[in-house]
Structure 1
């Protein structure tokens, strides 16, 4: 479904050296994975026999039983579209390998030997096995059939579903095989593992897997041997981890005494898009002479649904509260550092900001106040203007005035209504007609005042517009669209509330109360007259749609170039029960239309700091013709 594939890590019960029992449990786990729509399931290292057989690996009876069991297991996969990766001791000629067999639709399709054999402390694999490093273009006979054998195999289930295999210690070495598998085209790596448990080792293993998935821009699935391995000297915890390009997608509970399966729906299209545009991935060629063989598998079905996918409603906002707080503080620091550098460089004597009592200008004011602290300057160097117009309400006005007082800024108020009425007269506009001209005259009047005062005081106008507004072009060209340094330019609306809340947590109760009221105020440019009760009449999200939807659209459109149908499908899953599909479709159509037709505003935006992976600066992140057609995206 839209490039998503369901991956599973299985940790089965086993009996050491009992291939018949173990294979029956493998089959049971496989059936469960297949019934749950898994495209592939990976089992632990040497799971057919158990990892901890010791010198029993030299016994003919065990080796013959393991091969027969693996062939029988593969035969039982006939008719299924689920691929299984199982571990077994495999004898090729007179050499014994710790190997992984890839089984699909009734047959073993290839065998991958372990390359890096641990032989330190509790590990002594070189006593029993040989490394598969350097074995390429080879075959092996199993169950009377010749199959590809070697560390040069990439398995291909079509439509981007390509994976490679490495085994346990392969990941822990300096140059894991997975690095080369990824460069060779694998978008997922399956690791059959048998790492024992030590205090703190699980944390390290988890970090290792997630970091390797990020380094390879791939999915990484690890299945570890469980508690039923021998406990003569070691205990195995059965750790199962699924990571996706640096994100922990799924993890099991260790030390479970029953067989378990862990699932994650991973977006392989997104991985491919990240490799295409988000990194220097393709600047790393394979070493000279290294080649990979493609082993064709039956076509993978793809996830039947997205119930094991991570589709956050607010992709710009960390879901974990502690992580969100840390992220917000870091972003705030980036904003402050950017503004401080610009003030130092320009030798600006003042910072001039228009304060509306809304989210964006509040955040910009907080950044300016912190910038003054960093530079050892008084907050009175900030000239904060409130510029009431035809739509200004008492709530926003009072919050703006109180913020400036509590932060100690220089405060000025200029009522722009008379100037706007004069301008209406000059251009022959009837002020009773509340159209675009009516609104934009006010926005440009405010900007003119700020710019002129900055010139008069040797200052710099601090812009307040955010990423969501820039994406939608929800600004007045050469009005609030323009400033001398835009501190919020790469922060989406859904994140700004959390940035202000994080700051409120560190402030006095009086200031925190004002900041929280700003957070609770409906988003509005306040350019149309208030309603009969003096409340905000012009609510942005009623006009152009919820910002949480637009930020969702923006994230998937920009970061991974997702197709329109896919974006809508993801949104329908993420916002199920909140917005019906027709509402999502309507606002997505508006997003596309505005994003394309308002590009001309983005082509000449002020400087400002990038704080996340998505920004729309024409100088750094987004270069798009101002007259590009949106026809292909309106479907």
Structure 2
């Protein structure tokens, strides 16, 4: 029996468009002789639908669309589609009104419905807000083959692999006890750097432990701050990888199950990114492309300072959208160094993007004159410095409003963590592209980008040029250039020290004592922790940022603003 894995890129709420994606995949799968097609979790509505699920008309439209899709599918094919199902016992039991479900569509009808048993409520997940957990094991029989059906988190509770159980039940173990022939898992598993290695290890362990072939299909694409990498995969009962779909792109693959063995036969195994930098780059490019297009934009605008952050964002946007759809705006002040202007222009030339220069000197003078009566007898300081950033932010927003371009903000995670950014200035924007990328990783990505010469990876105009990010941008000390001679390290520890402290605090959940014990200066640690806490009000007002780590300043970050801790 041939099974097809459809790695789809749904848009949240686009029931008609998502249904057409499934139908197209079904027609392709049927033409290749597939008997069963697997699509991702909630493939009909896209993941995560969030509070759209609280709208009864949305839920009813989903049921109508599902029924129409069943009628349109090829008659030779059975299809597993991610959807939601009403809970008929909700009123009586006090439970949630919906299940996170999989529908088996065959012969023009919905033949069976399966409910997700394990509902995650950590990090970006809040499924218990919407769903009731399923209580029964899920399986179907197709042409004599018994298929165990699981949904995303159902696969993530193997106590042998994790060393503990996060939930009382293990849906995989239950299905194996019932004697299924193979296991399928339909997922919408968000990307974070290095996560695929964990997935593969977990799937391999389960396949070997239970002597069961496993097929795992994952959503791909960007939805708001979340990026989904796809990387759908299949393991035979010995835990050998027999199929892998490419990361960060839609795809479809056929895997054959030989009933006589019974096991999965080898199929196509795609090449994976060869480094973490390439993986993160691909994720960010996909995230920018999908956020821009799914929000209805075609072009973006970026403020170019001649610094490394805006250079990386411009390179990502160029790869995502094409040079003709990226506008870089240079906004020099009297404090901008000549090399910064030269570096920004060199970047524009390397990428082939459109650019425009707007001097802010006269605008700064206008602010000084207007504020002079109030600011008299005070020393120039942070307020005057921030005015420069806010002038630039206003100009960029004016361009965005005038021409309908999406403004991309350029602040990195290190800056966002400690508040080294200006509200209503450089924080302006519709998407914070590298808000989950630490400064040290920004440098690493730029160096990786310059080391690549193949056009497919960089997607820039000249595939033969060696340098994308000008060398001087990589070598000069980072600076906001808001006053003469200013560098970031006037206010911050060196970025290698800062990023290690932030890694321990944010990702490893270490306290001050542990971070100091790791070798950091006590005063530096105390200063950084205080800056992180004080900057919470800024982060709450920041644009959504693409998530590429296991803990980002976004959906999964829920810190109080008014706090004494």
Give TM-score scaled by structure 1 length.
0.44
- Rg larger for: 1
Give TM-score scaled by structure 2 length.
0.50
